[in-house]
Structure formats: structure tokens, C-alpha cells
């Protein structure tokens, strides 16, 4: 993947496309998908759309009772326990899946946290980087043999326009010198994008392709750590919590780009790309506003992606993927 590959492909879809539009007429029977966060917000929309198209969906969840209640009317779907912030839990879930499946066609990394208060997990790691990146990194590494066995698997990682806030803070990724919740979020979203770049580089020989994406601006449970007043101050909602800001998508529209990444034939033979509005995103110039779209060059840089991969492998002890 090079920066010249980050060019729109002329997709027939757009920012207004919904999940239903993406899967209309598509038969995913016989496909198995793992969708993290698949029981709320964009993940729930993703699970519904995949199962409606015939796929079998497995939803790892920290709160299994809540997940099962949310998915009680969704057929061909099951919930297993997993906490992305607890890597032992991630490994246990991956081992469980490896014992039961002979292949995995789709891994959709939808779950995430945003702008949380400072939290330390594991050996003192920053919580947003751990949940959003290390957890998904470990899950993908441990499930890689199943992905390779699918002969055409796709890994789809939800990043965000928040990646424009900062690249990887190589000097202090865990914010030991002072915590900033938005920079921590931005770093985690850059990590999500770089993860897809290097996973694709390692996996393409096995037919495993990876993509990162910005789903758009959507009010979902992702904002749960923010006060209502903070959301009002940002111009997102009114005093009653109703969306008032410009450019917001519905949850179905927000989940559409991930589903497009998972299923579009336009992406056959392509990978390591950052997507938005159901197409490949262009590279954005430094300093341009977050809401103008596009991806910063540092978030799709192969050298940075390889460096982050090595850092993540050393930190998590995940099973290496060999080419």
C-alpha cells in the first residue's frame, strides 16, 4: 500500500448509504463473522445486516447478559464472553473460537471507547490504547489461522477522524507524563489505522485483507463517557440529547462503510486502505479540519505501521503472524 492507493474508487455508495443498501441482494450464507461490540450502536447494526444477509455472527461481549438481551430477536447469532481490556480474556475467547471454527471469513473490530477518564489496565497501560488497539491486535493475531483458512477473509477495523488529533506518541504512548483524554483517543484511532496497514501486508499472501475506516459522526453509546453538557458545548446535541449538529449520520449509515469494506467486490485485490463514506479516502493535508475528511499520511505509513506492530507484539505477547 502506498499513498497513491488512497484514492476514491468511484463507489456507487455514499455518506447517505445505509446497511440495508449495502447488503441488498447479497447472499452471505456460509460465511462466519466475529463482530466486536456487535450488540450496541454501529456493531448492532452490523450484526443485524450480516445475519439478514445469511451470515453467522459471533459477538464477543464484556456484558454477555446485556448483549444477549439486545440480540434476542437476531437469528444466527451467538454471544461469547470477552473483555478487550483484559488480554487473558481475549486469548481465552480466541482459543474458544479456534476450538469451534475451522475458518473465519470476517473479523469486524467495531467495539471501542472514546475520551474516557484516565484508566490504567494490565501493567499500567493507558486504557483507550489497550481497549481500542491492543485488544483487537491480540484477537486478530490469535484468530489469524482461522482467517488464513478462509481463503479471502477480510478484517475491518473502526478507526475515526479522531486519528487527526495525533500520531503515535512513541516517546510516551501510555501518557505517563500527563493524561489528555482526547489525545489518547486520537492515538488509539491512529493505531487502529496503522494496524490494518501492517496486518494487510502480512496477510495478503494468505488472502487476508485488512481495512480501517471512519464511520462518520454518529451519536451512539460511544459518547457515554461524555457529559450531556460537553456534547452540547461541541454543538452535537440539544439540551434534551437530540442530535442537532451538521453532518451526523444515523447508526445504519454509520455502519455502512464497515459493511462495504467487508463485502464490496471493488476492494478485491486491495487492502491496507483507510475508508470513509463507502469509498477509499483521500490523503488529507496536515492541519486541515477533522470534519473535512480524509486520512493523515502518518496513519497509513507502512514504516510506522511496522514499528507499531513490533511494539504491540512485544507488549501483548500475541502469537506472531509469519509470512
Catalytic residue among 144, 185, 211, 274: 185
Grid coordinates belonging to 199: 496486518
For residues 200 and 195, what is the distance between their CA atoms, to the nearest angstrom?
8
The count of other CB atoms within 10 Å of the CB of residue 74 is 18
How many residues are given for the chain?
Answer: 323
- Classified as helix, coil or strand, 106 is strand
Grid coordinates belonging to 244: 442537532
Angle between helices 181-203 and 135-149 (to 10 degrees): 20
CA angle (20, 200, 56) in 5-degree steps: 40
Grid coordinates belonging to 118: 484516565
Contact 139, 71 (CB under 8 A): no
Residue 273: which H helix or E strand, with range? Answer: strand 273-276
3-state helix, strand, coil in the chain (%, to 5): 45, 15, 40
Catalytic-residue membership of 185: yes
| Closest of 214, 196, 206, 219 to residue 309, by C-alpha | 196
Catalytic residues: 185
Amino acid at each position: 500500500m502506498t499513498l497513491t492507493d488512497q484514492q476514491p474508487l468511484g463507489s456507487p455508495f455514499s455518506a447517505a448509504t445505509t446497511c440495508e443498501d449495502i447488503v441488498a441482494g447479497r447472499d452471505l450464507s456460509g460465511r462466519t463473522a466475529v463482530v466486536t461490540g456487535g450488540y450496541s450502536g454501529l456493531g448492532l447494526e452490523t450484526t443485524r445486516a450480516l445475519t439478514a444477509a445469511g451470515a453467522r455472527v459471533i459477538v464477543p461481549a464484556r456484558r454477555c447478559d446485556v448483549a444477549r438481551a439486545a440480540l434476542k430477536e437476531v437469528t444466527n447469532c451467538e454471544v461469547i464472553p470477552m473483555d478487550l481490556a483484559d488480554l487473558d480474556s481475549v486469548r481465552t475467547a480466541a482459543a474458544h473460537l479456534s476450538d469451534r471454527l475451522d475458518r473465519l471469513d470476517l473479523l469486524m473490530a467495531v467495539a471501542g471507547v472514546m475520551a474516557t477518564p484516565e484508566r490504567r489496565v494490565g501493567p499500567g497501560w493507558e486504557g483507550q490504547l489497550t481497549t481500542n488497539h491492543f485488544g483487537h491486535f491480540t484477537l486478530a493475531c490469535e484468530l489469524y489461522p482461522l482467517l488464513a483458512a478462509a481463503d479471502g477473509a477480510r478484517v475491518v477495523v473502526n478507526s475515526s477522524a479522531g486519528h487527526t488529533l495525533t500520531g503515535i506518541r512513541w516517546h510516551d504512548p501510555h501518557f505517563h507524563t500527563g493524561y489528555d483524554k482526547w489525545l489518547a483517543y486520537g492515538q488509539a484511532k491512529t493505531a487502529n489505522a496503522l494496524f490494518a496497514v501492517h496486518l494487510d501486508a502480512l496477510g495478503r499472501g494468505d488472502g487476508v485483507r485488512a481495512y480501517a475506516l471512519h464511520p462518520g459522526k454518529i451519536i451512539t453509546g460511544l459518547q457515554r463517557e461524555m457529559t450531556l453538557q460537553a456534547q452540547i458545548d461541541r454543538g452535537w446535541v440539544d439540551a434534551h440529547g437530540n442530535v442537532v449538529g451538521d453532518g451526523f449520520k444515523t447508526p445504519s449509515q454509520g455502519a455502512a462503510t464497515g459493511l462495504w469494506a467487508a463485502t464490496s467486490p471493488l476492494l478485491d485485490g486491495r487492502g491496507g486502505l483507510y475508508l470513509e463514506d463507502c469509498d477509499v479516502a483521500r490523503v488529507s493535508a496536515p492541519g486541515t479540519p477533522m470534519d473535512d475528511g480524509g486520512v493523515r499520511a502518518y496513519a497509513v505509513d507502512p514504516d510506522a505501521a511496522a514499528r507499531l506492530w513490533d511494539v504491540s507484539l512485544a507488549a501483548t505477547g500475541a502469537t506472531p503472524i509469519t509470512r
